[in-house]
Copies of this chain bind each other. A is one copy, B any other.
Amino acid sequence: MTVIKWNVRAGAYYDSVVLMQLQRGLLGLPGVVDAGAVMATPANRDLLAANNLLPESITANPDDLLIVIKANDDASAEAAIGQVDDLLTKRKSSNSPNSLEFRPRSLSAAVKQLPEANWVLVSVPGRYAAGVAREALDLGKHVFLYSDNVLLEDEIALKKIAREKGLLVMGPDCGTALINGIGLGFANRVRRGSIGVVGASGTGTQAVTAQIHNLGAGISHAIGTGGRDLKSDVGAITAHQALDVLARDDETRVIVLISKPPSPEVATQLISAAQTTGKPVVIYFIGYPPPARKIGNLKFAISLSEAAELSIREVENSRILQSSNSRFVRGLFSGGTLAYETMIGLQAFLSPLFSNSPITHSQNLEDPLHSKFHTIIDLGDEFFMVGRLHPMIDNDLRIRRMKQEAADAEVGMILFDVVLGEGSHVNPAGELAPVIKEIRGKRIGESKSRGGRVAPNDFGGAYRDHNLDGDLEFVAMVIGTDDDPQNLQLQVSQLEEAGVTVFRTAAEAVEYISLRFSASKQNDFTPVNLEQLKQPLAAINVGLESFYDSLLSQGAQAVHVEWRPPAGGNEKLAALLQKMRK
Protein backbone atom coordinates (compact mmCIF):
# COMPACT_ATOMS: atom_id res chain seq x y z
CA MET A 1 0.00 0.00 0.00
CA THR A 2 1.43 3.34 -1.04
CA VAL A 3 0.54 6.85 0.07
CA ILE A 4 0.41 10.10 -1.92
CA LYS A 5 1.34 13.55 -0.56
CA TRP A 6 1.51 16.81 -2.42
CA ASN A 7 2.60 20.38 -2.19
CA VAL A 8 1.42 23.41 -4.18
CA ARG A 9 3.57 26.55 -4.64
CA ALA A 10 1.66 29.55 -5.88
CA GLY A 11 2.50 31.31 -9.18
CA ALA A 12 6.25 31.59 -9.65
CA TYR A 13 8.64 30.79 -12.47
CA TYR A 14 10.67 27.60 -12.47
CA ASP A 15 13.05 26.66 -15.24
CA SER A 16 12.09 23.31 -16.82
CA VAL A 17 15.61 22.01 -16.18
CA VAL A 18 15.11 22.80 -12.49
CA LEU A 19 11.80 20.92 -12.50
CA MET A 20 13.35 17.88 -14.15
CA GLN A 21 16.16 17.91 -11.57
CA LEU A 22 13.67 18.35 -8.72
CA GLN A 23 11.67 15.34 -9.93
CA ARG A 24 14.80 13.22 -10.32
CA GLY A 25 16.00 14.34 -6.88
CA LEU A 26 12.70 13.34 -5.31
CA LEU A 27 12.71 9.94 -7.05
CA GLY A 28 16.10 9.24 -5.50
CA LEU A 29 14.92 9.70 -1.93
CA PRO A 30 14.34 6.66 0.33
CA GLY A 31 10.84 5.16 0.22
CA VAL A 32 9.73 7.25 -2.79
CA VAL A 33 8.00 5.13 -5.49
CA ASP A 34 7.12 7.87 -8.00
CA ALA A 35 7.10 11.63 -8.12
CA GLY A 36 5.93 14.51 -10.29
CA ALA A 37 6.95 18.16 -10.28
CA VAL A 38 5.06 20.15 -12.88
CA MET A 39 3.32 23.45 -13.57
CA ALA A 40 -0.35 22.57 -12.90
CA THR A 41 -1.67 23.11 -16.44
CA PRO A 42 -4.62 20.93 -17.55
CA ALA A 43 -2.29 18.89 -19.80
CA ASN A 44 0.18 18.29 -16.98
CA ARG A 45 -2.63 17.36 -14.55
CA ASP A 46 -3.86 14.80 -17.10
CA LEU A 47 -0.33 13.44 -17.38
CA LEU A 48 -0.10 13.06 -13.60
CA ALA A 49 -3.49 11.31 -13.60
CA ALA A 50 -2.31 8.91 -16.30
CA ASN A 51 0.56 7.97 -13.95
CA ASN A 52 -1.80 7.60 -10.95
CA LEU A 53 -0.24 10.68 -9.34
CA LEU A 54 -3.29 12.97 -9.09
CA PRO A 55 -5.63 12.53 -6.10
CA GLU A 56 -8.97 14.20 -6.84
CA SER A 57 -8.73 16.55 -3.91
CA ILE A 58 -5.82 18.58 -5.28
CA THR A 59 -6.65 22.15 -6.27
CA ALA A 60 -4.02 24.19 -8.08
CA ASN A 61 -3.92 26.92 -10.74
CA PRO A 62 -2.09 26.54 -14.05
CA ASP A 63 0.58 28.99 -12.79
CA ASP A 64 1.22 26.97 -9.63
CA LEU A 65 4.01 24.45 -9.18
CA LEU A 66 2.51 21.11 -8.16
CA ILE A 67 4.71 18.52 -6.46
CA VAL A 68 3.32 15.02 -5.89
CA ILE A 69 5.06 12.18 -4.06
CA LYS A 70 4.02 8.55 -4.06
CA ALA A 71 5.85 6.72 -1.27
CA ASN A 72 5.79 3.45 0.66
CA ASP A 73 4.64 5.17 3.84
CA ASP A 74 3.62 8.52 5.31
CA ALA A 75 7.00 9.17 6.84
CA SER A 76 8.91 8.78 3.55
CA ALA A 77 6.39 11.00 1.75
CA GLU A 78 6.58 13.71 4.40
CA ALA A 79 10.36 13.55 4.38
CA ALA A 80 10.43 13.96 0.59
CA ILE A 81 8.13 16.98 0.73
CA GLY A 82 10.46 18.41 3.33
CA GLN A 83 13.36 18.14 0.86
CA VAL A 84 11.69 20.20 -1.89
CA ASP A 85 13.10 23.56 -0.80
CA ASP A 86 16.61 22.21 -0.55
CA LEU A 87 16.36 20.57 -3.98
CA LEU A 88 14.93 23.74 -5.55
CA THR A 89 17.59 26.04 -4.16
CA LYS A 90 20.49 23.72 -4.92
CA ARG A 91 22.08 25.28 -8.04
CA LYS A 92 22.26 22.67 -10.73
CA SER A 93 25.84 21.82 -11.48
CA SER A 94 26.83 23.29 -14.79
CA ASN A 95 28.76 21.26 -17.32
CA SER A 96 30.20 24.45 -18.69
CA PRO A 97 33.85 25.19 -18.05
CA ASN A 98 32.87 28.86 -18.10
CA SER A 99 30.42 28.60 -15.23
CA LEU A 100 32.55 30.69 -12.96
CA GLU A 101 32.90 33.62 -15.32
CA PHE A 102 30.77 36.73 -15.13
CA ARG A 103 27.31 36.25 -16.55
CA PRO A 104 25.18 39.15 -17.69
CA ARG A 105 21.63 39.27 -16.44
CA SER A 106 20.17 41.06 -19.45
CA LEU A 107 20.39 40.84 -23.20
CA SER A 108 21.74 44.38 -23.53
CA ALA A 109 24.51 43.61 -21.06
CA ALA A 110 25.33 40.44 -22.98
CA VAL A 111 25.60 42.43 -26.23
CA LYS A 112 28.13 44.75 -24.56
CA GLN A 113 30.12 41.70 -23.52
CA LEU A 114 30.05 40.08 -26.98
CA PRO A 115 29.30 42.85 -29.50
CA GLU A 116 30.23 40.66 -32.48
CA ALA A 117 27.31 38.33 -31.69
CA ASN A 118 24.84 38.49 -34.58
CA TRP A 119 22.58 35.74 -33.22
CA VAL A 120 20.37 35.41 -30.15
CA LEU A 121 19.04 31.98 -29.11
CA VAL A 122 15.79 32.25 -27.16
CA SER A 123 14.46 29.23 -25.26
CA VAL A 124 12.65 30.82 -22.31
CA PRO A 125 9.01 29.77 -21.65
CA GLY A 126 6.60 30.75 -24.42
CA ARG A 127 4.85 33.58 -22.63
CA TYR A 128 8.15 35.46 -22.16
CA ALA A 129 9.74 34.50 -25.49
CA ALA A 130 8.22 37.14 -27.75
CA GLY A 131 9.46 39.89 -25.45
CA VAL A 132 13.03 38.59 -25.47
CA ALA A 133 12.92 38.13 -29.25
CA ARG A 134 11.69 41.67 -29.78
CA GLU A 135 14.51 43.02 -27.62
CA ALA A 136 17.00 41.04 -29.72
CA LEU A 137 15.57 42.47 -32.95
CA ASP A 138 15.75 45.97 -31.49
CA LEU A 139 19.43 45.30 -30.84
CA GLY A 140 19.83 44.30 -34.54
CA LYS A 141 20.32 40.58 -33.93
CA HIS A 142 18.99 37.54 -35.78
CA VAL A 143 16.78 35.40 -33.55
CA PHE A 144 16.74 31.63 -33.15
CA LEU A 145 13.44 31.17 -31.32
CA TYR A 146 13.30 27.66 -29.84
CA SER A 147 10.41 28.43 -27.48
CA ASP A 148 6.99 26.99 -28.25
CA ASN A 149 3.59 28.17 -27.04
CA VAL A 150 4.22 31.63 -28.59
CA LEU A 151 1.09 33.40 -29.86
CA LEU A 152 0.58 33.50 -33.62
CA GLU A 153 0.07 37.28 -33.58
CA ASP A 154 3.40 37.69 -31.80
CA GLU A 155 5.09 35.55 -34.46
CA ILE A 156 3.62 37.68 -37.26
CA ALA A 157 4.59 40.95 -35.55
CA LEU A 158 8.16 39.76 -34.88
CA LYS A 159 8.64 38.53 -38.43
CA LYS A 160 7.37 41.77 -39.93
CA ILE A 161 9.83 43.76 -37.84
CA ALA A 162 12.62 41.36 -38.82
CA ARG A 163 11.76 41.58 -42.51
CA GLU A 164 12.02 45.37 -42.37
CA LYS A 165 15.43 45.16 -40.75
CA GLY A 166 16.85 42.38 -42.90
CA LEU A 167 16.96 40.06 -39.87
CA LEU A 168 15.83 36.45 -39.52
CA VAL A 169 13.39 35.15 -36.92
CA MET A 170 13.86 31.38 -36.99
CA GLY A 171 10.84 30.08 -35.08
CA PRO A 172 8.98 30.02 -32.78
CA ASP A 173 9.19 26.29 -32.10
CA CYS A 174 12.31 26.14 -34.24
CA GLY A 175 14.29 23.11 -33.17
CA THR A 176 17.36 23.39 -35.32
CA ALA A 177 19.60 25.51 -37.51
CA LEU A 178 23.12 25.28 -38.86
CA ILE A 179 24.79 28.62 -39.49
CA ASN A 180 28.25 28.61 -40.94
CA GLY A 181 28.98 25.16 -39.50
CA ILE A 182 27.60 25.78 -36.02
CA GLY A 183 24.44 24.03 -34.86
CA LEU A 184 21.84 26.05 -32.97
CA GLY A 185 19.42 24.20 -30.66
CA PHE A 186 19.25 20.55 -31.65
CA ALA A 187 21.63 19.88 -34.50
CA ASN A 188 23.57 16.95 -35.84
CA ARG A 189 27.26 17.41 -36.47
CA VAL A 190 27.58 17.54 -40.22
CA ARG A 191 30.38 18.63 -42.47
CA ARG A 192 30.25 21.90 -44.32
CA GLY A 193 29.36 21.73 -47.99
CA SER A 194 27.37 23.24 -50.79
CA ILE A 195 23.78 22.27 -49.89
CA GLY A 196 21.63 24.89 -48.18
CA VAL A 197 18.47 23.98 -46.32
CA VAL A 198 15.32 25.95 -45.55
CA GLY A 199 13.36 23.95 -43.00
CA ALA A 200 9.95 24.58 -41.52
CA SER A 201 10.35 21.25 -39.77
CA GLY A 202 12.96 20.66 -37.07
CA THR A 203 13.45 16.92 -37.13
CA GLY A 204 12.88 16.98 -40.87
CA THR A 205 15.87 19.30 -41.19
CA GLN A 206 17.90 17.12 -38.84
CA ALA A 207 17.05 13.94 -40.74
CA VAL A 208 17.96 15.53 -44.09
CA THR A 209 21.17 17.23 -42.97
CA ALA A 210 22.32 14.09 -41.13
CA GLN A 211 21.72 11.97 -44.19
CA ILE A 212 23.46 14.43 -46.51
CA HIS A 213 26.47 14.07 -44.22
CA ASN A 214 26.14 10.28 -44.06
CA LEU A 215 26.10 10.17 -47.87
CA GLY A 216 29.35 12.12 -48.00
CA ALA A 217 28.20 15.66 -48.79
CA GLY A 218 27.74 18.72 -46.59
CA ILE A 219 25.69 21.74 -45.60
CA SER A 220 26.35 25.45 -46.23
CA HIS A 221 23.61 26.77 -43.95
CA ALA A 222 20.38 25.25 -42.67
CA ILE A 223 17.88 27.95 -41.82
CA GLY A 224 14.90 26.98 -39.69
CA THR A 225 11.63 28.87 -39.95
CA GLY A 226 9.37 27.31 -37.31
CA GLY A 227 6.45 25.12 -38.25
CA ARG A 228 3.88 27.91 -38.63
CA ASP A 229 5.93 30.04 -41.00
CA LEU A 230 4.24 28.50 -44.06
CA LYS A 231 0.70 29.08 -42.80
CA SER A 232 -1.15 31.74 -44.79
CA ASP A 233 -1.31 34.11 -41.79
CA VAL A 234 2.46 34.26 -41.60
CA GLY A 235 2.99 34.00 -45.36
CA ALA A 236 6.34 32.21 -45.10
CA ILE A 237 8.21 35.42 -44.30
CA THR A 238 11.26 33.61 -42.96
CA ALA A 239 11.27 30.98 -45.69
CA HIS A 240 11.26 33.69 -48.37
CA GLN A 241 14.14 35.51 -46.66
CA ALA A 242 16.05 32.26 -46.32
CA LEU A 243 15.56 31.28 -49.96
CA ASP A 244 16.73 34.73 -50.99
CA VAL A 245 19.89 34.73 -48.90
CA LEU A 246 20.82 31.19 -49.92
CA ALA A 247 20.22 32.16 -53.56
CA ARG A 248 22.81 34.92 -53.13
CA ASP A 249 25.30 32.70 -51.32
CA ASP A 250 27.90 31.41 -53.78
CA GLU A 251 28.83 28.56 -51.44
CA THR A 252 25.28 27.22 -51.68
CA ARG A 253 24.87 25.36 -54.95
CA VAL A 254 21.68 23.46 -54.18
CA ILE A 255 18.81 24.37 -51.86
CA VAL A 256 16.53 21.93 -50.03
CA LEU A 257 13.15 23.25 -48.88
CA ILE A 258 11.27 21.12 -46.32
CA SER A 259 7.92 21.77 -44.77
CA LYS A 260 4.68 20.20 -43.68
CA PRO A 261 1.96 20.92 -46.25
CA PRO A 262 1.71 24.69 -46.67
CA SER A 263 -1.46 26.49 -47.65
CA PRO A 264 -1.91 26.41 -51.46
CA GLU A 265 -1.27 30.15 -51.98
CA VAL A 266 1.85 30.05 -49.82
CA ALA A 267 3.07 26.95 -51.66
CA THR A 268 2.63 28.65 -55.03
CA GLN A 269 4.51 31.75 -53.86
CA LEU A 270 7.34 29.73 -52.37
CA ILE A 271 7.67 27.59 -55.46
CA SER A 272 7.82 30.76 -57.55
CA ALA A 273 10.51 32.11 -55.26
CA ALA A 274 12.38 28.81 -55.53
CA GLN A 275 12.20 29.01 -59.32
CA THR A 276 13.76 32.46 -59.34
CA THR A 277 16.75 31.41 -57.23
CA GLY A 278 18.37 30.14 -60.43
CA LYS A 279 19.70 27.18 -58.41
CA PRO A 280 18.50 23.61 -58.22
CA VAL A 281 15.93 23.45 -55.42
CA VAL A 282 14.74 20.16 -53.95
CA ILE A 283 11.31 20.56 -52.42
CA TYR A 284 9.67 18.20 -49.97
CA PHE A 285 6.24 19.31 -48.82
CA ILE A 286 5.47 16.44 -46.48
CA GLY A 287 2.11 14.90 -47.32
CA TYR A 288 1.54 17.13 -50.37
CA PRO A 289 1.22 15.28 -53.66
CA PRO A 290 4.27 16.27 -55.67
CA PRO A 291 3.26 18.20 -58.81
CA ALA A 292 5.93 16.37 -60.80
CA ARG A 293 9.33 14.81 -60.29
CA LYS A 294 10.92 17.87 -61.86
CA ILE A 295 9.77 21.29 -62.97
CA GLY A 296 12.59 23.33 -64.45
CA ASN A 297 15.13 23.89 -61.67
CA LEU A 298 12.85 22.29 -59.06
CA LYS A 299 12.86 18.65 -58.01
CA PHE A 300 10.14 17.25 -55.81
CA ALA A 301 10.94 14.58 -53.21
CA ILE A 302 8.49 12.25 -51.48
CA SER A 303 10.49 11.46 -48.36
CA LEU A 304 13.18 12.96 -46.17
CA SER A 305 15.78 10.49 -47.30
CA GLU A 306 14.91 11.08 -50.94
CA ALA A 307 15.24 14.85 -50.41
CA ALA A 308 18.77 14.24 -49.16
CA GLU A 309 19.66 11.96 -52.06
CA LEU A 310 18.23 14.29 -54.70
CA SER A 311 20.05 17.32 -53.31
CA ILE A 312 23.38 15.55 -53.63
CA ARG A 313 22.62 14.55 -57.22
CA GLU A 314 21.67 18.15 -58.02
CA VAL A 315 24.93 19.64 -56.79
CA GLU A 316 26.38 19.35 -60.29
CA ASN A 317 23.35 20.86 -62.01
CA SER A 318 23.65 24.14 -63.80
CA ARG A 319 21.76 27.37 -63.79
CA ILE A 320 18.47 27.45 -65.62
CA LEU A 321 17.19 30.29 -67.75
CA GLN A 322 13.55 31.13 -67.78
CA SER A 323 11.09 33.23 -69.68
CA SER A 324 7.92 34.60 -68.22
CA ASN A 325 4.34 35.16 -69.21
CA SER A 326 1.84 37.05 -67.14
CA ARG A 327 -1.36 36.07 -68.89
CA PHE A 328 -3.69 33.17 -68.17
CA VAL A 329 -3.78 29.51 -69.09
CA ARG A 330 -7.07 27.93 -70.11
CA GLY A 331 -7.16 24.15 -70.36
CA LEU A 332 -9.93 22.45 -72.35
CA PHE A 333 -9.78 18.71 -71.72
CA SER A 334 -11.70 15.72 -73.01
CA GLY A 335 -9.97 13.42 -70.49
CA GLY A 336 -10.90 13.96 -66.84
CA THR A 337 -7.76 12.36 -65.45
CA LEU A 338 -5.51 14.24 -67.83
CA ALA A 339 -7.19 17.44 -66.64
CA TYR A 340 -6.72 16.41 -63.02
CA GLU A 341 -3.08 15.39 -63.34
CA THR A 342 -2.38 18.62 -65.20
CA MET A 343 -3.98 20.60 -62.37
CA ILE A 344 -1.85 18.85 -59.76
CA GLY A 345 1.16 20.05 -61.69
CA LEU A 346 -0.06 23.55 -62.52
CA GLN A 347 -1.29 24.38 -59.01
CA ALA A 348 2.33 24.44 -57.92
CA PHE A 349 3.04 27.58 -59.91
CA LEU A 350 -0.22 29.04 -61.25
CA SER A 351 -2.47 30.90 -58.84
CA PRO A 352 -5.35 31.39 -58.64
CA LEU A 353 -6.33 28.27 -60.51
CA PHE A 354 -9.95 27.18 -61.06
CA SER A 355 -11.67 24.11 -62.44
CA ASN A 356 -15.02 22.35 -62.76
CA SER A 357 -13.09 19.34 -61.44
CA PRO A 358 -11.16 21.03 -58.61
CA ILE A 359 -8.61 19.44 -56.30
CA THR A 360 -9.35 21.75 -53.37
CA HIS A 361 -12.61 23.49 -52.60
CA SER A 362 -11.09 26.92 -53.19
CA GLN A 363 -10.37 25.99 -56.80
CA ASN A 364 -14.02 25.33 -57.58
CA LEU A 365 -15.23 27.17 -60.71
CA GLU A 366 -18.87 27.96 -59.91
CA ASP A 367 -19.84 28.54 -63.53
CA PRO A 368 -18.23 25.88 -65.75
CA LEU A 369 -19.21 27.89 -68.82
CA HIS A 370 -17.02 30.87 -67.97
CA SER A 371 -13.35 30.63 -67.09
CA LYS A 372 -11.53 33.05 -64.82
CA PHE A 373 -7.81 33.53 -64.12
CA HIS A 374 -6.12 30.20 -64.83
CA THR A 375 -8.81 27.60 -65.52
CA ILE A 376 -8.86 23.91 -66.39
CA ILE A 377 -12.13 22.59 -67.81
CA ASP A 378 -13.03 18.89 -68.00
CA LEU A 379 -15.43 18.91 -70.96
CA GLY A 380 -16.25 15.25 -70.35
CA ASP A 381 -17.78 16.08 -66.96
CA GLU A 382 -21.37 14.90 -66.46
CA PHE A 383 -22.50 18.54 -66.48
CA PHE A 384 -21.75 18.78 -70.19
CA MET A 385 -22.88 15.29 -71.14
CA VAL A 386 -26.69 15.14 -71.14
CA GLY A 387 -27.85 14.28 -74.66
CA ARG A 388 -24.40 15.10 -76.01
CA LEU A 389 -21.60 12.95 -77.39
CA HIS A 390 -18.35 12.77 -75.48
CA PRO A 391 -15.77 15.41 -76.49
CA MET A 392 -13.52 12.58 -77.69
CA ILE A 393 -16.12 11.94 -80.41
CA ASP A 394 -17.66 15.34 -81.00
CA ASN A 395 -15.35 18.38 -81.13
CA ASP A 396 -18.13 20.98 -81.37
CA LEU A 397 -18.19 21.97 -77.69
CA ARG A 398 -14.43 22.29 -77.51
CA ILE A 399 -14.19 24.34 -80.70
CA ARG A 400 -16.83 26.75 -79.40
CA ARG A 401 -15.03 27.03 -76.07
CA MET A 402 -11.66 27.60 -77.76
CA LYS A 403 -13.12 30.56 -79.62
CA GLN A 404 -14.69 31.85 -76.42
CA GLU A 405 -11.37 31.67 -74.55
CA ALA A 406 -9.45 33.19 -77.44
CA ALA A 407 -11.76 36.23 -77.37
CA ASP A 408 -10.38 37.03 -73.90
CA ALA A 409 -7.25 39.15 -74.36
CA GLU A 410 -6.03 38.05 -70.91
CA VAL A 411 -5.61 34.49 -72.14
CA GLY A 412 -2.02 33.69 -73.11
CA MET A 413 -2.26 29.94 -73.60
CA ILE A 414 -4.88 27.39 -74.54
CA LEU A 415 -4.02 23.88 -73.46
CA PHE A 416 -5.87 20.79 -74.63
CA ASP A 417 -5.65 17.04 -74.96
CA VAL A 418 -6.24 14.85 -77.99
CA VAL A 419 -7.01 11.25 -77.04
CA LEU A 420 -6.73 8.86 -79.96
CA GLY A 421 -7.72 5.19 -80.22
CA GLU A 422 -10.75 3.04 -80.85
CA GLY A 423 -14.06 4.79 -80.27
CA SER A 424 -12.62 8.31 -80.55
CA HIS A 425 -13.17 10.76 -83.41
CA VAL A 426 -11.52 9.57 -86.63
CA ASN A 427 -9.51 12.75 -87.14
CA PRO A 428 -9.68 15.15 -84.22
CA ALA A 429 -6.67 17.22 -85.26
CA GLY A 430 -8.27 17.62 -88.68
CA GLU A 431 -11.14 19.47 -87.02
CA LEU A 432 -9.16 21.34 -84.37
CA ALA A 433 -6.17 22.53 -86.41
CA PRO A 434 -8.07 24.78 -88.87
CA VAL A 435 -9.88 26.45 -85.96
CA ILE A 436 -6.60 27.07 -84.18
CA LYS A 437 -5.05 28.52 -87.33
CA GLU A 438 -8.01 30.85 -87.71
CA ILE A 439 -7.86 31.97 -84.05
CA ARG A 440 -4.14 32.60 -84.16
CA GLY A 441 -4.39 34.57 -87.39
CA LYS A 442 -7.04 36.77 -85.87
CA ARG A 443 -5.08 37.33 -82.64
CA ILE A 444 -1.87 38.28 -84.42
CA GLY A 445 -3.84 40.67 -86.65
CA GLU A 446 -5.38 42.32 -83.61
CA SER A 447 -2.04 42.58 -81.89
CA LYS A 448 -0.43 44.24 -84.91
CA SER A 449 -3.31 46.69 -85.32
CA ARG A 450 -2.82 47.64 -81.66
CA GLY A 451 0.86 48.16 -82.41
CA GLY A 452 1.77 45.23 -80.14
CA ARG A 453 5.51 45.00 -79.82
CA VAL A 454 7.33 41.84 -80.76
CA ALA A 455 9.39 41.01 -77.70
CA PRO A 456 12.63 39.09 -77.67
CA ASN A 457 12.47 36.31 -75.13
CA ASP A 458 15.05 35.39 -72.53
CA PHE A 459 16.83 32.80 -74.65
CA GLY A 460 19.44 35.15 -76.04
CA GLY A 461 17.05 37.30 -78.07
CA ALA A 462 15.86 34.59 -80.44
CA TYR A 463 12.31 34.92 -81.70
CA ARG A 464 9.76 32.13 -81.52
CA ASP A 465 6.70 32.72 -83.64
CA HIS A 466 4.22 31.52 -81.05
CA ASN A 467 5.73 33.45 -78.16
CA LEU A 468 5.00 36.90 -79.52
CA ASP A 469 3.39 39.59 -77.45
CA GLY A 470 -0.36 39.54 -77.99
CA ASP A 471 -0.18 36.10 -79.52
CA LEU A 472 -1.98 33.14 -78.10
CA GLU A 473 -0.02 29.97 -77.57
CA PHE A 474 -1.61 26.54 -78.08
CA VAL A 475 -0.24 23.51 -76.25
CA ALA A 476 -1.55 19.99 -76.77
CA MET A 477 -0.94 16.61 -75.21
CA VAL A 478 -1.62 13.83 -77.69
CA ILE A 479 -2.32 10.42 -76.15
CA GLY A 480 -2.03 7.52 -78.56
CA THR A 481 0.02 4.76 -80.15
CA ASP A 482 1.52 4.14 -83.59
CA ASP A 483 -1.17 1.54 -84.17
CA ASP A 484 -4.14 3.75 -83.39
CA PRO A 485 -6.64 4.10 -86.24
CA GLN A 486 -6.23 7.92 -86.45
CA ASN A 487 -2.56 7.84 -87.51
CA LEU A 488 -0.63 9.36 -84.65
CA GLN A 489 1.97 11.09 -86.80
CA LEU A 490 -0.69 12.73 -88.95
CA GLN A 491 -2.50 14.01 -85.84
CA VAL A 492 0.69 15.50 -84.41
CA SER A 493 1.81 17.05 -87.70
CA GLN A 494 -1.56 18.69 -88.37
CA LEU A 495 -1.43 20.31 -84.93
CA GLU A 496 2.20 21.39 -85.29
CA GLU A 497 1.47 22.95 -88.67
CA ALA A 498 -1.22 25.02 -86.99
CA GLY A 499 1.42 26.28 -84.53
CA VAL A 500 0.55 24.00 -81.61
CA THR A 501 3.33 22.87 -79.26
CA VAL A 502 2.70 19.15 -78.91
CA PHE A 503 3.66 16.84 -76.02
CA ARG A 504 2.97 13.16 -75.53
CA THR A 505 2.44 13.16 -71.74
CA ALA A 506 0.83 15.49 -69.22
CA ALA A 507 4.07 15.60 -67.25
CA GLU A 508 6.04 17.03 -70.18
CA ALA A 509 3.34 19.59 -70.94
CA VAL A 510 3.32 20.72 -67.30
CA GLU A 511 7.06 21.20 -67.26
CA TYR A 512 6.92 23.25 -70.44
CA ILE A 513 4.16 25.48 -69.05
CA SER A 514 6.09 26.01 -65.83
CA LEU A 515 8.91 27.54 -67.84
CA ARG A 516 6.55 29.77 -69.82
CA PHE A 517 4.76 31.04 -66.72
CA SER A 518 7.49 31.25 -64.11
CA ALA A 519 7.40 34.33 -61.95
CA SER A 520 9.98 37.05 -62.11
CA LYS A 521 11.80 37.90 -58.91
CA GLN A 522 10.35 40.72 -56.84
CA ASN A 523 11.51 41.01 -53.25
CA ASP A 524 9.40 43.15 -50.98
CA PHE A 525 11.81 42.93 -48.07
CA THR A 526 15.20 44.12 -46.89
CA PRO A 527 17.69 41.40 -47.87
CA VAL A 528 19.41 39.55 -45.07
CA ASN A 529 23.09 40.47 -44.89
CA LEU A 530 24.88 37.49 -46.40
CA GLU A 531 28.20 38.46 -44.83
CA GLN A 532 26.75 37.99 -41.35
CA LEU A 533 26.08 34.35 -42.18
CA LYS A 534 29.66 33.89 -43.29
CA GLN A 535 31.31 35.31 -40.18
CA PRO A 536 32.48 32.96 -37.43
CA LEU A 537 29.34 32.43 -35.42
CA ALA A 538 28.99 34.37 -32.18
CA ALA A 539 25.75 34.15 -30.24
CA ILE A 540 23.94 35.11 -27.08
CA ASN A 541 21.90 32.42 -25.36
CA VAL A 542 18.78 33.18 -23.33
CA GLY A 543 17.15 30.11 -21.82
CA LEU A 544 18.31 26.49 -21.84
CA GLU A 545 21.89 26.38 -20.68
CA SER A 546 22.53 23.17 -22.62
CA PHE A 547 22.25 25.16 -25.84
CA TYR A 548 25.00 27.46 -24.57
CA ASP A 549 27.20 24.50 -23.64
CA SER A 550 26.72 23.07 -27.09
CA LEU A 551 27.71 26.34 -28.80
CA LEU A 552 30.95 26.39 -26.81
CA SER A 553 31.66 22.73 -27.53
CA GLN A 554 31.37 23.50 -31.25
CA GLY A 555 33.95 26.28 -30.92
CA ALA A 556 31.53 29.18 -31.29
CA GLN A 557 31.79 32.32 -29.22
CA ALA A 558 28.84 32.61 -26.89
CA VAL A 559 27.50 34.41 -23.84
CA HIS A 560 24.79 32.97 -21.60
CA VAL A 561 22.33 35.38 -20.03
CA GLU A 562 21.28 34.59 -16.44
CA TRP A 563 17.71 35.28 -17.41
CA ARG A 564 14.88 35.47 -14.90
CA PRO A 565 11.33 36.39 -15.83
CA PRO A 566 10.13 39.92 -14.99
CA ALA A 567 9.02 40.11 -11.34
CA GLY A 568 10.17 36.55 -10.76
CA GLY A 569 7.35 35.19 -12.88
CA ASN A 570 4.63 36.84 -10.80
CA GLU A 571 2.32 38.00 -13.58
CA LYS A 572 0.38 40.55 -11.56
CA LEU A 573 3.55 42.19 -10.31
CA ALA A 574 5.02 42.15 -13.80
CA ALA A 575 1.95 43.90 -15.21
CA LEU A 576 2.22 46.53 -12.46
CA LEU A 577 5.91 47.12 -13.21
CA GLN A 578 5.12 47.42 -16.90
CA LYS A 579 2.50 50.07 -16.11
CA MET A 580 4.83 52.04 -13.89
CA ARG A 581 7.44 52.20 -16.65
CA LYS A 582 5.03 53.87 -19.05
Using a CB–CB cutoff of 8 Å, the interface residues on chain A facing chain B are 14, 16-17, 19-20, 23, 38-39, 41, 43-44, 46-47, 49-51, 125-126, 148-149, 173, 175-176, 183, 185-191, 201-204, 206-207, 210-211, 213-214, 227, 258, 260, 286-290, 292-293, 300, 302-306, 334-338, 340-341, 344, 359, 367, 369-370, 380, 382-390, 392-394, 396-397, 400, 404, 417, 419-424, 479-485, 504-508, 544, 546-547, 550, 553-554
Contacts and interface: CB of A to CB of B under 8 A. Distances in A.
Given A260-B340, A388-B38, A423-B183, A382 B148 contact: yes
Given A38-B387, A213-B483, A422-B550, 7 more contacts: A46-B367, A176-B421, A204-B338, A206-B335, A207-B479, A287-B340, A303-B506
A189 B420 CA distance: 9
A186 B392 contact: yes
A344 B290 CA distance: 14
Contacts of A421: 176, 183, 186-189, 206, 210
A507 B306 contact: yes
Contacts of A485: 189, 553
Given A190-B483, A341-B303, A506-B207, A288 B289 contact: yes
A286 B382 contact: no
Contact of A43 (B125, B336, B383): B383
Contact of A481 (B46, B213, B293): B213
B149 A385 contact: yes
Given A41-B387, A183-B423, A400 B206 contact: no
B394 A202 contact: no
A554 B419 CA distance: 18
A389 B286 contact: no
A480 B550 contact: no
Given A337-B204, A382-B173, A51 B484 contact: no
A199 to B, nearest CB: 9
A194 B126 CA distance: 60
B389 A20 contact: yes
A212 to B, nearest CB: 9
Contact of A340 (B16, B50, B175, B286): B286
A414 to B, nearest CB: 17
User: Which residue, of A189, A335, A336, A396, has the highest number of chain B Cβ atoms within 10 A?
Assistant: A189
A385 B483 contact: no
20 contacts: A16-B387, A16-B389, A20-B388, A43-B383, A47-B384, A50-B369, A175-B392, A176-B421, A186-B392, A186-B423, A190-B483, A203-B338, A204-B338, A206-B479, A210-B480, A211-B504, A213-B481, A287-B289, A287-B359, A422-B550
Contact of A479 (B47, B203, B386): B203
A400 B34 CA distance: 11
Nearest to A284: B341
B337 A260 contact: yes
A387 to B, nearest CB: 4
A569 to B, nearest CB: 11
Contacts of A290: 289-290, 302
A541 B289 CA distance: 39
A304 to B, nearest CB: 6
B43 A386 contact: yes
A465 to B, nearest CB: 28
Nearest to A178: B422
A300 to B, nearest CB: 8
